[in-house]
Structure 1
Amino acid sequence: MKPAENYILNLTEPFKSIVLHLQLIVEQNFPNAELQFKWKIPFYYLDNSPLCYFNPSRKKGYVDVGFYTTQIFDKYNEFVISEGRKKVKSLRYFSVEDIDSDILVYVLTAAHEEKGFWRK
């Protein structure tokens, strides 16, 4: 078993269910994405660039889906959290029911397509 898969399967609830649901959405919509284990958390890479990471915060009770971008999106900005970070933003989920796959896929696609960002 890969380290990222092992990490996910050993999460406590509700984090495990949230991350498994997020994993399903990412893998269905980005079939070429590779699950890796970087900085002690699961990371998805697409086209040799980071797509997103899953960071459960037990202390705060949510799963952060982080991604690298500097842009303001045409849609769904009200769901994107930057908290003063310049190149990292995130979507946060407290439960499986909070996950809107349309928002997640749109934001990850737009962030990944940001031209030239990965080389900065």
Structure 2
Amino acid sequence: MKPAEAYILNQPEPFKSMLMHLQILIEGTFPDVDLQFKWKIPFYYLNDKPFCYLNPSKKKGYVDVVFWVSAHLTKYNEYLISENRKVVKSLRYFKLEDINEEILLTVLDEAHQLKDKGFYKRS
């Protein structure tokens, strides 16, 4: 078992359910991403470049799906949260039912399509 998978399975509820659901959606839709464990959180890479990461905030009670190339995302920007972060934006979920799969998969797909524009070329 990968360290990132163990991390997800060891989270308390509702974080565990949200993280598992997000993992299934991301890996099921984008099989070319690689789940790693970086900076003590599950981090997805595409062609060895950061793609997105899953950041549970137990203190604040939510899970963020954080997008590395957020400056280039154009779809569903009204749902993306920057919160004084200069480089990244995220979709935020407080409970499993908050996860809107259409919005999530659309934003993930747009980020994934950036690989065709050279954003995720191997170094």
Q: TM-score, normalised by structure 2?
A: 0.87
Deviation at 1:33, TM superposition (A): 1.3
Percent of aligned positions that are identical: 63
Q: Could you tell me which residue of structure 2 aligns to residue 29 of structure 1?
A: 29
Please list the CA deviations of residues 37-57 of structure 1 after superposition, one character each: whole Å capped at 9, or x if unmatched.
000000111222222111100
Measured in 2, the distance between the counterparts of 1:92 and 1:82 equals 10
Change (3 A) 1:4 1:72: closer
Q: Is 1:71 aligned with 2:67?
A: no
Instruction: Describe how 1:1-120 pairs up with structure 2 within 5 A.
Output: 1-69=1-69, 70-73=71-74, 75-114=75-114, 115-117=117-119
Measured in 1, the distance between the counterparts of 2:84 and 2:105 equals 23
Measured in 2, the distance between the counterparts of 1:71 and 1:84 equals 17
Measured in 1, the distance between the counterparts of 2:120 and 2:88 equals 12
SS of residue matched to 1:60: coil
Deviation at 1:88, TM superposition (A): 0.6
Deviation at 1:6, TM superposition (A): 0.8
Letter of the 1:5 partner, please give it. Answer: E
Letter of the 2:62 partner, please give it. Answer: Y
Letter of the 1:93 partner, please give it. Answer: Y
Deviation at 1:86, TM superposition (A): 2.3
Task: Judge which range, 4-13 or 64-73, deviates more.
Answer: 64-73
Q: Runs of 5+ in structure 2 lacking a partner? A: none
